[in-house]
Chains A and B, each alone.
Chain A
Amino acid sequence: MPTVAPLDLNGHCIAALFIGDVPYFALADGTVHRLDYGHKTLQIHDGLLAATLDQAGSQLITGGEDGKVCASAGDSVETLAEVGRKWVSSVAAGPQGSVAYAVGRSASVRFSDGRSREFQHARTVEGLAFSPKGMRFAVARYNGVTLHFPATDGKPTELEWAGAHTAVTFSPDGNFVVTSMQENALHGWKLADGKHMRMTGYPGKVKSLSWSAKGKWLASSGASAAIVWPFQAKDGPMGKAPLELGTRGNALVTCVACHPSEDIVAIGYNDGMVLAVRFADAKEVLLRRPGKGPVTAMMWDKGERRIAFGTDAGDCGVIDITG
């Protein structure tokens, strides 16, 4: 039986993740909580807007309403950048300790040696993601995606598709870029030939995307089930129907997190429930009963045994699937 170790906090959880074996919970009020031989708290921002784990898995990268970009772990905080009174609305972690962050219409990359490069855009930078290979990052913007090569002076690649793209992700093999859009849809590009992929039919906005092991599937929120698109074929999901896993008649999926090695997805709902569902036979296991608010963040640990989760009401915790 799965067990849940609750951590009742006060506020919207932006990210729940593990640094080593320690679960971390980053809240919108700027506090970061961790369960490291007891509950410990660190105030990092005056208002935290975005958080992600660095690629080494050793630091939490955050951006705030206070215009700061920070890297933190345990009790130590380093301010990587300060932009004044504008919001740092998005952050992404790249190779060799690099970090990208978005402020209004600009996206900046800070390299581990402290150098940084800024890229201006005609429209607001809505989402950021690094490619899994090489020093390349994607900016989600109105009417498409811009791919930058910040280590060189190479010209950016523009991927166009009409509409507002609010978040972006690369497939783990680096062959596909997928965005979520303002109008309840995903859009994808196959980078080799620029082929478009439209993934529509969601009743709500897609706020959570998660690639399964080896990038064979892309799980998404935004419907009454987790919508899981097949990416095994060379053209991705085109012409194929997605899996619909964990369908519930009276709830919406708000967060998805794929298992690190198996074809299983943890699904969080707007009532706080969490299920684990296997792709092969759609078998469901209840991991957490409904709570106070929609699940907003989840991450599996390296041991593939625990899931850190958070909600918009602050009732966070750690699920141990082995009990």
Chain B
Amino acid sequence: MSEAQAPTQTQIPVTVLTGYLGSGKTTLLNRILSENHGRRYAVIVNEFGEIGIDNDLIVESDEEIYEMNNGCVCCTVRGDLVRVVEGLMRRPGRFDAILVETTGLADPAPVAQTFFMDEDVRAKTRLDAVVALVDAKHLPLRLKDSKEAEDQIAFADVVVLNKTDLVTPEELAQVEATVRAINPSARIHRTERSGVNLTEVLDRGAFDLKRVLDSDPHFLDSDDQHDHDGHHGHHDHAHASPIHDVSVKSVSLRGGEMDPKKFFPWIEKITQMEGPNILRLKGVIALKDDPDRYVLQGVHMIIEGDHQRPWKADEKHESRLVFIGRDLDEDRLRKSFEACQAA
């Protein structure tokens, strides 16, 4: 496990926009580029769409997934992003932030992993957040015919549930419940015409261990409406999918103070063995005899952890961990997690 790197001033923030054609991605992109926030963006797109993107600095790149030669099938990076980001960063004065627009069929994991696994990219940029645009009307259909739509939601830090004006309140509630079932820790914003407040999309620090879970009320708040047994159990139940076409699920675990001698080997082993099935993981861990909260975040097998800040006097010393993924053995995860608790 690598210790988190302190972000430096020179690290350029990167926002990844995912979503299907027609989800409102280009509309949001153009809003980010045109609104008066004083930031200049470099935009990386996989294909120049039919709707123009209004920006000086647009780079087209061919999606190029590179498996690393280390025997780990989920350790993939986007070779095109490595090259383009490297090129862009050689002329750093032109922009303050980077937007990566992926196609609707793109797997978000290699995109995110590029910013952790490639030493050069990581030295100069930091992944700020993965934002998924979801078309409220067509999501059920998308989930039926593709795994990518589900992956994009599972992977997102922010879900913009767009085109809410095209569905009934009941349909909207159902779609939102589906999104929530796939990803219990993402922030969801309901919008029409991609009209989300840009502060909800930009500068989220979703991968910044100092901030990662503070911006995540669903994760920390035990009154979370989806956390049904939060008041009496030591764990949440797995969020079962309300519809048939969803194969991603989340497992939320809760426990007391952890024995670091047990917990760290356990999380290392779990991420090694289950890495391909784990899309994202996030956690706050209370370590025995440690005055600081220990925070964790991971993408497949890549996991980062760091001491975040001292526990506040009124905070309960408890450990919480959420896995989002496929084929997760909830029972085994829970039992082995609980076995790491300090005696």
In the complex, residue of chain A having the shortest beta-carbon distance to the beta carbon of B65:
A142
Tell me, yes or no, whether A2 is within 8 Å of chain B by CB.
no
Q: How far is the CA of A105 from the CA of B61 in the complex (A)?
A: 10
- Which chain A residues numbered 85 to 141 have a C-beta less than 8 Å away from chain B? 85-87, 89, 104-105, 123-124, 126
Question: How far in angstroms is the closest Cβ of chain B from A267?
Answer: 20
Q: How far is the CA of A124 from the CA of B78 in the complex (A)?
A: 11
B119 near A204: Cβ-Cβ < 8 Å? yes
Known A142-B66, A162-B69, A182-B68; judge A12-B90 contact (CB<8 A). Answer: yes
Question: How far in angstroms is the closest Cβ of chain B from A202?
Answer: 11
Secondary structure of the B side of the interface? mixed
In the complex, residue of chain A having the shortest beta-carbon distance to the beta carbon of B63:
A124
Of B80-88, B158-166, B172-180, the stretch lying at the interface with chain A is B80-88
Task: Tell me the count of chain B residues lying within 8 A, CB to CB, of chain A.
Answer: 22
In the complex, residue of chain A having the shortest beta-carbon distance to the beta carbon of B120:
A205
Tell me, yes or no, whether B60 is within 8 Å of chain A by CB.
yes
Question: How far in angstroms is the closest Cβ of chain A from B70?
Answer: 7
**Cross-interface CB contact of B80 among A47, A124, A162, A181, cutoff 8 Å:** A124
Q: How far is the CA of A124 from the CA of B60 in the complex (A)?
A: 13
**Cross-interface CB contact of A105 among B59, B62, B66, cutoff 8 Å:** B62
A126 near B87: Cβ-Cβ < 8 Å? no
Question: How far in angstroms is the closest Cβ of chain B from A28?
Answer: 4
A123 near B59: Cβ-Cβ < 8 Å? no
Residues of A within 8 A of B69 (CB): 162-163, 181, 183, 185
B62 near A28: Cβ-Cβ < 8 Å? no
B79 near A11: Cβ-Cβ < 8 Å? no
Tell me, yes or no, whether B231 is within 8 Å of chain A by CB.
no
- Which chain A residues numbered 306 to 320 have a C-beta less than 8 Å away from chain B? 312
Residues of B within 8 A of A185 (CB): 69
Question: Chain A interface residue count: which class?
Answer: 20 to 34
A123 near B64: Cβ-Cβ < 8 Å? yes
Tell me, yes or no, whether B130 is within 8 Å of chain A by CB.
no
A164 near B66: Cβ-Cβ < 8 Å? yes
**Cross-interface CB contact of A28 among B83, B90, B119, cutoff 8 Å:** B90
Tell me, yes or no, whether B77 is within 8 Å of chain A by CB.
yes
Tell me, yes or no, whether A54 is within 8 Å of chain B by CB.
no
- Which chain B residues numbered 76 to 127 have a C-beta less than 8 Å away from chain A? 77, 79-80, 82-84, 87, 90-91, 118-120
Tell me, yes or no, whether B274 is within 8 Å of chain A by CB.
no
Residues of B within 8 A of A124 (CB): 62, 64, 79-80, 83
Tell me, yes or no, whether B67 is within 8 Å of chain A by CB.
yes
Q: How far is the CA of A105 from the CA of B120 in the complex (A)?
A: 23
**Cross-interface CB contact of B91 among A12, A89, A126, A162, cutoff 8 Å:** A12
Q: How far is the CA of A126 from the CA of B80 in the complex (A)?
A: 9
Secondary structure of the A side of the interface? loop
Tell me, yes or no, whether A49 is within 8 Å of chain B by CB.
yes
Question: How far in angstroms is the closest Cβ of chain B from A31?
Answer: 11
Known A87-B59, A142-B64, A205-B120; judge A164-B79 contact (CB<8 A). Answer: yes
Residues of B within 8 A of A142 (CB): 64, 66, 79
Residues of B within 8 A of A205 (CB): 119-120
Question: How far in angstroms is the closest Cβ of chain B from A145?
Answer: 15
A163 near B68: Cβ-Cβ < 8 Å? yes
Known A28-B91, A204-B119; judge A183-B83 contact (CB<8 A). Answer: no
Q: How far is the CA of A87 from the CA of B77 in the complex (A)?
A: 20
Q: How far is the CA of A154 from the CA of B176 in the complex (A)?
A: 58
In the complex, residue of chain B having the shortest beta-carbon distance to the beta carbon of A30:
B91
Report which A residues bind B (CB closer than 8 A). Answer: 11-12, 14, 28-29, 47, 49, 65, 85-87, 89, 104-105, 123-124, 126, 142, 162-164, 166, 181-183, 185, 204-205, 312
Report which B residues bind A (CB closer than 8 A). Answer: 59-62, 64, 66-70, 77, 79-80, 82-84, 87, 90-91, 118-120
Q: What are the 5 closest A-B residue pairs judged by CB atoms, nearest first?
A: A28-B90, A163-B69, A12-B90, A164-B66, A124-B64
9 pairs across A/B with beta carbons < 8 Å? A28-B87, A85-B60, A86-B60, A104-B62, A162-B69, A163-B69, A182-B82, A182-B118, A205-B120
